Amino acid sequence: MDRRRIVVVEDDHDIADILKHSLTRAEFAVDVFHRGDTAAVAIAGSPPALIVLDLKLPGLDGLELSADDYITKPFSPREVVLRVKAVLRRHSGAPAGSPEGAMEVGALRIDPERHEVKVGDRPITLTATEFRLLSFLA
């Protein structure tokens, strides 16, 4: 299983494009399917790290694909990306302070568990308030 591969199953092509664009910008590999039955075949052959899907799909309903969480439409693409990252982090089994718990924005790396910020390999010293603000903004 590729830990960075996300499958989007959405019959609305515009919504699928928005999700693909947002997740790709967050450095995920994204496969898009517009039918539930087609997605089920592809997923069975190569399981992704996570599936983002519509509940009402042609060919096979999203609930039949074992959906266990949802966001109602309309939704914020940013919220979807953040929730995808949170789900993957929860299910990674990574120990505290591991790279999976850290956030990366360009060369900036924020590790909430260790309370560390680096730009490249250079550590940045921040007050607690500065750290919380930077983490929030990232």
The topology under which CATH files domain 2-91 is: Rossmann fold (3.40.50)
Residues 123-137 have a mean pLDDT of 81
Closest among 70, 42, 75 to 56, alpha carbons compared: 70
Between β-strands 48-53 and 2-9, what pairing exists: parallel, antiparallel or unpaired?
A: parallel
Give the pLDDT of residue 67.
66
pLDDT at 39 over 80: yes
User: Where are the CATH 3.40.50.2300 domain residues in the chain?
Assistant: 2-91
Amino acid, res. 103: M
pLDDT digits (tens, 9 = 90+) for 75-96: 889 989 988 988 888 776 544 4
Tally Cβ neighbours within 10 Å of residue 60. 17
The topology under which CATH files domain 99-137 is: Arc Repressor Mutant, subunit A (1.10.10)
